[in-house]
Amino acid sequence: MSDQLAGKHGVGPRFWEQNAPRTVRRANFWVPGPRYSANGQSYQRGPMFVEWEAPPEVTRPYPIVLVHGGAVQGTEWTITPDGRPGWSQRLVDAGYVVLVVDRPTQGRSPFHPDVVGAMGPPFSYEEGRKVFFPAEAAEKQTQWPFDPDGDGPTLDAFIAAYGPLPVDIAGWQEMDADRLADLLDQIGPAIVMTHSASGADGWLVADRRPQLVAAIVTVEPMGPPFATTPNIGTLSFGLTAAPITFDPPLSFAEQVQAADPASLRIPALTDLPVAVVSGETSPQAKAAHETVAFLAMAGAAVDHIHLPNHGVFGNGHGLIYEMNSDAALQPVLDWLIEHTPVASSADAESRHENDPRSGTPQPRRRDSLENSAHGAPADGTTMFVTYAGDADTRFDRDYFVNAHLPLVMEAWSPYGLLGVSALFPDGHQQGVIAVAVCRFRDAAAVSSALAAPRSAEVMADVTNYTDSEPIQSRGVRP
């Protein structure tokens, strides 16, 4: 019948005929917002639409909540611009229950400025090109499924999903986190996966429901810490624009910005498995190093999944829907399997005693895993290497990140170095121009690495990027 119709009307195969049939369970529901009263009328502020899908047999222990980026909607997870299955379908096929949200005021979640506040500017084609396929990355960015310089219908369809964001970034981050927390109250422990501007939502919902977040995967998160993103806003609290809980407590953004970065512990992130995913050509790839370092100092058990290190090349900020999106997902799937194993009945029973919600199993933190990605025990040690100076102090960031840190990793990984990241807190901590965060298996591994023959080579390399003398300090996981 389809061939007869195609011949009669002169059209090719329809898109639904080009996709393989799937057997799944799916439905949708709403997470309501609070009531809002004005002029004698009652309204609802910022509800959140949720669409879920599950395979016939669920084989993975935690559902995954997919939180889309800024100004777009949940459809960015479901389908690629060239019509292939998106990450949501692939995750379902991998055995996960998947919940795709439209963040409050975005997509199918309605908004009105009289209720949620003023909206920002509309999303332009020029903004889309700047974010997803900037001219400076054109030669290396090879995975877009259409010509980014063209003006065809595929580009039109891509831009069609985008709209304005609320002006108040802290306000919409809090609204997102509140609805996500309500969602976790309904479904129990889950993995939270964010993209771009929703990166802050993951940290904030963990702050609200630390016992219900099993792990966080953040793809190309907005950053680096304390950065300002045009048309969106400033991460005044480091990872977030909205307040988040620090220990010792810091109530104001100015206090956070003036603090020693190594002191900015976030209790909700302590030993929480976190993966930061970055593409080869994206401007956010450099920012990811600083975000990873900040998360490590905050206490998270963080890994940086930089796609070129996994044989996946040519990706930009939209890696979740570029032509090699399946290949980009594979290291994430591998990481999830390693960091969210099936909990035993004994684990569930012991965690139940500390659960404020009766009957809710608690996620396993990385410190309780018998087989973590690197075999790191709970007494893992982090060494912070701080470089002091001012605006006139010589410090070559590119050399530091692209030459020195790989040398450090090569020299010390045989002795128990698990990962190294960089943080550049310019303008936020007086006198500190850079911090290297070196995560070791344990305290003995630090001593072994420092006494290793190649440590002299590591130290001699310092003068290639700075005149500042490195200062070492250590922190042990509580």
Model pLDDT for residues 146-162, shown as the tens digit of each residue = 887 777 888 898 999 99
In a shared domain, residues 413 and 312: no
For residue 457, report the phi and psi dihedrals to the nearest 5 degrees.
-65, -40
| pLDDT band at residue 345 using 50, 70 and 90 as cut-offs | very low
Q: Does residue 209 lie in a domain region?
A: yes
Structure confidence at residue 11 (pLDDT): 57
- The boundaries of the domain holding residue 341 are 24-368
Torsion sign, CA atoms 213, 331, 477, 237? negative
In a shared domain, residues 317 and 423: no
Question: What predicted TM-score, i.e. pTM, was given to this entire model?
Answer: 0.79
What is the pLDDT of the chain when averaged over all its residues?
86
Alpha helices in 161-268 (DSSP H): 169-187, 199-208, 253-258
Structure confidence at residue 277 (pLDDT): 98
Q: Is the pLDDT of residue 9 over 70?
A: no
In a shared domain, residues 333 and 457: no
Neighbouring C-beta atoms of residue 467, cutoff 10 Å:
11
Residue 2 or 465, more confident: 465
Q: Does residue 224 lie in a domain region?
A: yes
Q: Does residue 18 lie in a domain region?
A: no
Q: Does residue 251 lie in a domain region?
A: yes
Residue 159 or 474, more confident: 159
Provide the number of structural domains found in the chain.
2
In a shared domain, residues 179 and 303: yes
**Domain-terminating residue out of 368, 397, 424:** 368
Q: Is the pLDDT of residue 83 over 60?
A: yes
Q: Does residue 14 lie in a domain region?
A: no
In a shared domain, residues 233 and 274: yes
Q: Give me the active site residues, please.
A: 196
Q: Does residue 5 lie in a domain region?
A: no
In a shared domain, residues 359 and 472: no
User: In the chain, what is the straight-line distance between the N-terminal and C-terminal CA atoms, in Å?
Assistant: 66
Q: β-pairing, 98-102 with 48-54?
A: antiparallel
In a shared domain, residues 411 and 360: no
CATH number, position 390? 3.30.70.100
| pLDDT band at residue 229 using 50, 70 and 90 as cut-offs | very high
**Domain-terminating residue out of 310, 343, 368:** 368
Q: Does residue 221 contact residue 194 with C-beta atoms inside 8 Å?
A: yes
In a shared domain, residues 308 and 159: yes
CA distance 462 to 466: 6
In a shared domain, residues 105 and 206: yes
Q: Does residue 10 lie in a domain region?
A: no
In a shared domain, residues 320 and 425: no
CATH number, position 271? 3.40.50.1820
CA distance 188 to 64: 11
**Domain-terminating residue out of 368, 402, 428:** 368
In a shared domain, residues 350 and 408: no
In a shared domain, residues 297 and 388: no
Torsion sign, CA atoms 104, 107, 109, 114? positive
Q: Does residue 305 lie in a domain region?
A: yes
Residue 451 or 238, more confident: 238
